[in-house]
Amino acid sequence: MSIEDGKADGTELHKMSVKIPPFWIDKPEIWFYQVEAQIKISGITAEETKFNYLISQLDHKIVENVWDIIHNDSQTKYTDSKTRLLNLFKESENARIQRLITGIDLGELKPSQFFQKLRSVATSDISENLIKTLWLVENYQTILKIS
């Protein structure tokens, strides 16, 4: 069988290896986006193969959270694990709003970088006007501290 054939005997051949970064507890949504990009680049479509790559790259403390999924006979182990990990580690809406309002410091960031950081914490349910207002307030406070 050649690589172009893609499958033989129910297994998948992959043209490229999957390089999954370490799990990002603070931003699991972004981490899964990176994982799925690697999986797509590699041409992996089988749920079980995705699951095996996922589990092989997770730290043991993270794997403990999906141990029951590992041992069940589900055909959707990757999807189930992804849902579980996102539910466990994704920042709640209330925590995200609280951090947006009080928890982001301008620090050494340029104003444009700070604005992008605000936008990354906010989601589509938070208006652009609110983000701009928070950004302006922080920038004015910084200017006042300097003068």
For the stretch 2-14, pLDDT in tens is 344 445 444 555 5
| Token pair belonging to 60 | 């043991």
Q: Is the pLDDT of residue 139 over 60?
A: no
Tell me what pLDDT residue 81 has.
Answer: 96
Q: Is the pLDDT of residue 24 over 80?
A: yes
Q: Is the pLDDT of residue 48 over 70?
A: yes
Alpha-carbon distance 89 to 85, whole Å? 6
pLDDT bin (cut points 50, 70, 90) of residue 55 is very high
For the stretch 79-131, pLDDT in tens is 999 999 999 988 666 666 666 566 666 566 676 776 676 666 666 566 666 66
* DSSP per-residue codes, 60-100: HHHHGGGHHHHTS--S-HHHHHHHHHHHHHSPPHHHHHHII
Tell me what pLDDT residue 6 has.
Answer: 46
Question: How many other C-beta atoms lie within 10 A of the C-beta of residue 23?
Answer: 18
Q: Is the pLDDT of residue 64 over 80?
A: yes
Higher pLDDT, 110 or 61: 61
